[in-house]
Chain A
Amino acid sequence: MDVERIRELIELMKENDLSEVRIVDGETRLLLRRGVPAGSMPMMQFTPVVQNPPGQLPASNAASAGGSPPAGHEVSEDSHLSSISSPMVGTFYAAAAPDAEAYVRVGDRIRADTVVCIVEAMKVMNEIKAEVSGVIEKIMVENGQPVEFGQPMFMIRPD
């Protein structure tokens, strides 16, 4: 699939006011999306490993490689940060309501009982507590993003 072809497709999409085009051509897969269609949810996606040498295990997309991480926390390899990961499958929300302020921001100091976010699962808004005290270094997910079990949401510099 060359750049000219993709440019043509984009023009066609604009002309015909299409919001999403998905093309599969042999082993090539192309997804073109204009703007964010109402009601659509970003997907959890594994990069498909098409050529897999025999005996080799495919790389994992998620945080831990084999073995279960301790409940909700992981120590990152190259720094002294630990993560707060999602204890359930659902949708991450940074604040209690669409117009409310985010529970936490980068730089905030948190305690074990600080509510850091909401993960909505099956229409239930679950307040997620930090379970660790420290300072928020990074927020790994966006408001409204689907999260899977064990997915890191915040990186913390623990006390």
Chain B
Amino acid sequence: MFNRILIANRGEIALRIIRACKDLGIETVAVYSEADRKASYLHLADHAICIGKASPADSYLNIPRIISAAEIANVEAIHPGYGFLAENAHFAEVCRSCKIEFIGPTVEAMQLLGDKVAAKKLAAKASIATVPGSEDAVENEEEAAGLANKIGYPVIIKAAAGGGGRGMRIAHNEANLRSSFKSAKNEAETAFKDGTLYLEKYVEKPRHVEVQVLGDHHGNIIHLWERDCTLQRRHQKLVEETPCPAIDDRTRDQICRAAVKLAKAAKYTSAGTFEFLVDKKKDFYFIEANTRIQVEHPITEMITGIDLVKWQIRIASGQELDLRQRDVPRRGVSIECRINAEDPSKNFTPSPGKIEFYIPAGGQGVRLDTHVYGGYEISPYYDSLVGKLIVHQPTRDEAIATMRRALQEFQIGPIKTTIPLYLEIFSNKDFLRGKVDTGFIDRM
């Protein structure tokens, strides 16, 4: 087991990792930018090192500075969290070449699954259905139009190098397609330094269902069930729940087994997530894999009782999974709301600033993963995630009731948060009946 780990991240996930390390008796080294200097969670780490100015390029994305900090602090491993360098295969390579373990998958698995086009090819080879689309990158509008005519509209343009909705455009006809191609390319260039695009059939009103897997270095791979992340706004997830309320146990089993099959084909290790679209007929299509711990991992932890971050650390240190697939339980229903510092009544304008009053939600069945507190200053340099509000109850109705209660209890101000939006969602008839699709929020 590692003696000392550096956490190459910030905010709530840095705190999450620090906590897992402390539970395991591992010393922690946090890094921070000047903008995060006053963050309280830094004091929970054994050591904290300032690595640069506020901008991510100068700090949390700065590989030389992070490696330098790892070296002077003499750590044995680095946990990258999510976002920033978490899916950067080059960073993983640099870590390992400096004899520092990267807590995540192998470089090969990251490169294979990180490239959406390559990942689709892998799925096809493993006989797992994918959404009909381009076999490879699409170079220009001509190629895109030709392919779209074959697949049939509507189609979706996607960036090969990243997600979060950037570089994504839906086109309902050729004119749409031709006009959005260039802007999608530009957006992808800016966001991921890679303008490579590919094309897929756009599955209408789909549900987004993803499967959590864990793989060790001894060839064992298990799934920890699925998560439904259908509720999104501009392709950013807002609410996640498990189990998926719209599929039966048979489909659930099939999707989870498909994910394990794909993970095995990629020789996957550490924690990872395989994403699928489920259409109205309950057919599912693999769309992409995420080679990192995800924001919404807590809901899986709640229904299984298994600590995913601790397992990432154990696996990275060489330990074998002591769980067999049949040992992975599924109890109750867990739902998460991502609370952002944004004003839902003003088109989700970011609302940074100092949190003057703060009363967290709590009680039976409530978990709050957050790095903020009264007096914390939300800076404009990073994402607007204030915290993740998670509930866990025996049934979906009870989980929803608890979430509603927790949202009402939760007081943060004077900054604006998306809590009012969630209060609306958790009173919405369609949501309560489990009948939503990815366009739900935009229509609200």
Contacts and interface: CB of A to CB of B under 8 A. Distances in A.
B34 A150 contact: yes
A151 B68 CA distance: 15
Given A52-B40, A68-B34, A121-B64, A44 B47 contact: yes
B72 A89 contact: yes
Nearest to A61: B48
A91 to B, nearest CB: 6
A122 B71 contact: yes
Interface residues of B, number: 32
B401 interface: no
A148 B50 contact: yes
Contacts of A64: 34, 37
A26 interface: no
A46 B71 contact: no
A148 B52 CA distance: 8
B147 interface: no
Contacts of A56: 375
Contacts of A38: none
Interface range on chain A (Cβ under 8 Å from partner): 20 to 34
Contacts, number: 92
A43 B47 contact: yes
Nearest to A66: B38
Contact of A41 (B35, B59, B74, B373): B74
A89 B68 CA distance: 6
Interface centre among B34, B40, B67 (most CB of A within 10 A): B34
B37 A146 contact: no
B382 to A, nearest CB: 15
Contacts of A149: 34, 49-53, 59, 65
B375 to A, nearest CB: 4
B214 to A, nearest CB: 30
Interface in B41-88: 42-54, 59, 64-65, 67-69, 71-74
A29 to B, nearest CB: 9
Nearest to A90: B68
Contacts of B40: 52, 57-58
A98 interface: no
A79 interface: no
Given A44-B72, A122-B98, A146-B72, A88 B54 contact: no
B45 to A, nearest CB: 7
Contact of B50 (A65, A91, A122, A150): A150
A45 interface: yes
Contacts of A97: none
A46 B401 CA distance: 42
B374 interface: yes
A148 B51 contact: yes
Contacts of B71: 122
A55 interface: yes
A88 B50 CA distance: 9
B38 A57 contact: yes
Interface string A43-87: 111101100101111101110111011000000000000000000
A150 B374 CA distance: 27
Contacts of A54: 373-374
A46 B27 CA distance: 13
A108 B211 CA distance: 64
Nearest to B65: A89
Contacts of B59: 149
A146 B51 CA distance: 12
B34 A88 contact: no
Contacts of B68: 88-90, 121-122
B51 A68 contact: no
A149 B55 CA distance: 13
Interface string A102-121: 00000000000000000001
B22 to A, nearest CB: 11
Interface in A122-154: 122, 146, 148-151
Contacts of B74: 40-41, 43
28 contacts: A41-B74, A43-B74, A44-B47, A44-B48, A44-B49, A44-B73, A46-B47, A48-B43, A49-B43, A52-B40, A55-B374, A56-B375, A58-B43, A60-B38, A65-B37, A88-B64, A89-B50, A89-B51, A89-B72, A91-B72, A122-B67, A122-B68, A146-B72, A146-B73, A148-B49, A149-B49, A149-B50, A149-B53
Given A56-B375, A57-B40, A58-B38, 4 more contacts: A44-B73, A57-B38, A62-B50, A64-B34
